[in-house]
Copies of this chain bind each other. A is one copy, B any other.
Amino acid sequence: MSRLVGSMTDSEQVRQLLQRFARAADARDVEGLKALFHPDATVDSLRGKQAFLDWLKGMEGPRIYPTSMHLIGEPLVHFDGDTADLDSYAVVYQIGDRDAGQQDLTMGIRYLDQAVRDGQGWCIRARKVNILWTR
């Protein structure tokens, strides 16, 4: 999947980046995720700050929940040339296997992303994942 998005404004492009992330994460589409992050990207989440490629290994393992849905809201965006700071609220639904007695997990998340523009468009250079609440 190319990151090029034709005639969209920069604001539209960075919002599409987040929506692509949501669908690739839910599909466990590792190649799709790779296309959205800078090769040297970092992800700072529950496990602390990791290289993106290390974080990605966690997406290649077996799924804990059979279905997930990342509903990512509109980011607050601040552009500075070829860099953009994105601040996005999301609700992530991890849907359990009820037949197996597995509970659902719902998470309120705030993604703080630094996106950068290169020759192929915008990609995520650094992500901080703040989990605001879980239920």
Contact = CB atoms under 8 A, between A and B. Distances in A.
A28 B5 CA distance: 35
Given A11-B8, A76-B16, A104-B135, A71 B91 contact: yes
Contact of A19 (B70, B74, B104, B108): B74
B135 A75 contact: no
A55 interface: no
Contact of A76 (B20, B70, B89): B20
A22 B70 CA distance: 19
Interface string A56-73: 000000000001011111
A69 B108 contact: yes
A6 B73 CA distance: 22
A44 interface: no
Interface of A: 6-9, 11-12, 15-16, 18-20, 22-23, 67, 69-77, 79, 87, 89, 91, 93, 95, 104, 108, 132-133, 135
